[in-house]
Amino acid sequence: MIPVTKPFLPPQADYQGYLDGIWNRNWLTNNGPLVNELELRLKEYLGVNHLLYVSNGTMALQIAIKALDLKGEIITTPFSYVATTSSIVWEGCKPIYVDIIPGKFTIDPTKIEEAITPETSAILATHVYGIPCDVEEIERIAKKHNLKVIYDAAHAFGVKIKGRSIFEYGDISTCSFHATKIFHTIEGGGVFTKDPELLKKMSFLRNFGHDGFDKFNGLGINGKNSEFHAAMGLAILPYLESILAKRKEQFVFYKNLLQKLSVEFSNIEKIESYNYSYFPIVFQSEGILLKSKQLLDENGIACRRYFYPGLNTLDYTSGDCPVSDAISTRVLCLPLYHILSKEEQQMIARFLLRVQNYNNDKSNLELAETRNS
């Protein structure tokens, strides 16, 4: 059985070392020493000044929306994980979908301005598969219309733009450290901002609004994370470079194996520092996707339709997004994780090519039959 992803687990002894410390201190959660250490190490690793470790990537998004006091309409992408939309709705705002760029999977800035109304308060865009949004253009539009910008950077750990962490863009960026993500703490997430005041506000929001034991600074929520989760992150960090290097190798290997497959790959040539976190392929039709997925399923290989259905097709939604619709029905993410072997990748490629060749043979046959009749 080949899953679509497998969480990286550090050597058990590494994690045990952190557990010993937790047992000695008897300090399990509430801004403990391991949470602080993880925040510090992440700042060093990413080269950012301000981040908060929170309970998950969805909570990170909701805290970001709350911290910016967003109301009314939020312009967002239809091509993302459902949490991007659900966070907007849970914070009482309305998602307004703007289509994605053809040939790229991120929000199309040329279509943002026509979606702005007097009710618009922000843009919430996703660096989907770790592919950076057009951040400069989005920033220009946001400035011009006095809008806030949040990036859902759940896939973008380790990605850089112009030498800076992608988390430095937007008023706030959020990340997920869920077990399925490239860097994980089992469950977990982060909020990032360059604005120290905003960071302070989010730190209150993360902890019920507590300002000391008996005083409150606004009303917050429980967005804290535990020492056990932080320990997993700390135990994984030393392996991160090798995880990323391996991903790149596997990514390139897939691409070479699949040269003859009639699909579109993600366009990552222009990204200066990418994390190779997902391997999406866009088939020529949903029919071939379904046939391919079925053959892989039958052979114990799990692929996922990330991201299908398009978020604009869910309830409480508006917005016509033909480009996203056309991609979300035809895209499939192939298995990708640190211990996926070359042989397994070759097997996956063979199955995909087999479906295509079978289809071609069949249509050639049908063509020949029509000619002969």
Ligand X SMILES: *Cc1c(COP(=O)(O)O)cnc(C)c1O
In the bound complex, what is the minimum distance in angstroms from residue 249's beta carbon to ligand X? 23
User: Does 349 engage in binding with ligand X (CB under 6 A)?
Assistant: no
CB-nearer residue toward ligand X: 96 or 288: 96
- Region near ligand X per CB under 6 A, out of 81-89, 199-207, 220-228, 297-305: 81-89
**C-beta nearest to ligand X: residue:** 57
Compute the CA torsion angle 14, 20, 21, 22 (nearest 10 deg): 110
User: Does 133 engage in binding with ligand X (CB under 6 A)?
Assistant: no
In the bound complex, what is the minimum distance in angstroms from residue 59's beta carbon to ligand X? 7
User: Does 83 engage in binding with ligand X (CB under 6 A)?
Assistant: yes
Yes or no: say if 172 and 54 are a contact pair by the CB < 8 Å rule: no
**Could you give the CA distance from residue 136 to residue 74 in angstroms, rounded to a whole number?**
19
Coil, strand or helix: which one is 169? coil
Among 8, 53, 79, 81, binds ligand X (CB under 6 A): 81
CB-nearer residue toward ligand X: 116 or 175: 175
- Region near ligand X per CB under 6 A, out of 50-58, 143-151, 230-238, 285-293: 50-58
Among 76, 77, 84, 207, binds ligand X (CB under 6 A): 84
- List of E strands, the chain: 51-54, 73-76, 94-97, 120-126, 148-152, 160-161, 164-165, 172-176, 189-192, 264-265, 280-282, 331-333
User: Does 5 engage in binding with ligand X (CB under 6 A)?
Assistant: no
Q: Rule CB under 6 A: which of 159-178 touch ligand X?
A: 176, 178
In the bound complex, what is the minimum distance in angstroms from residue 351's beta carbon to ligand X? 26
User: Does 328 engage in binding with ligand X (CB under 6 A)?
Assistant: no
Q: Six-digit token pair at 217? A: 């600074």
User: Does 79 engage in binding with ligand X (CB under 6 A)?
Assistant: no
Binding mask 176-195 for ligand X (x = CB under 6 A): x-x----------x------
Q: Are strands 73-76 and 280-282 parallel, antiparallel or unpaired?
A: unpaired
CB-nearer residue toward ligand X: 81 or 337: 81
Residue labelled with tokens 């290997």: 253
If we measure between CA atoms, which residue out of 123, 127, 104 comes closest to residue 113? 123
- Region near ligand X per CB under 6 A, out of 53-61, 110-118, 220-228, 319-327: 53-61
Active site residues: 181
**What is the DSSP annotation of 50-103?**
-EEEES-HHHHHHHHHHHTT--SEEEE-SSS-HHHHHHHHHTT-EEEE-PBPTT
- Region near ligand X per CB under 6 A, out of 7-15, 22-30, 147-155, 203-211: 147-155
CB-nearer residue toward ligand X: 23 or 90: 90
Number of residues that bind ligand X (CB under 6 A): 14
- Phi/psi at 35 (nearest 5 deg)? -60, -45
Which secondary-structure segment (H or E) carries 245? helix 240-257
In the bound complex, what is the minimum distance in angstroms from residue 168's beta carbon to ligand X? 18
**Could you give the CA distance from residue 45 to residue 277 in angstroms, rounded to a whole number?**
18
Yes or no: say if 182 and 277 are a contact pair by the CB < 8 Å rule: yes
Q: Which amino acid is at 153?
A: A
Q: Is the dihedral of CA 34, 36, 39, 40 positive or negative?
A: negative
Coil, strand or helix: which one is 121? strand
Coil, strand or helix: which one is 53? strand
User: Does 155 engage in binding with ligand X (CB under 6 A)?
Assistant: yes
User: Does 276 engage in binding with ligand X (CB under 6 A)?
Assistant: no
User: Does 95 engage in binding with ligand X (CB under 6 A)?
Assistant: no
**Which residue ranges make up the site for ligand X (CB under 6 A)?**
56-58, 80-81, 83-84, 126, 152, 154-155, 176, 178, 189
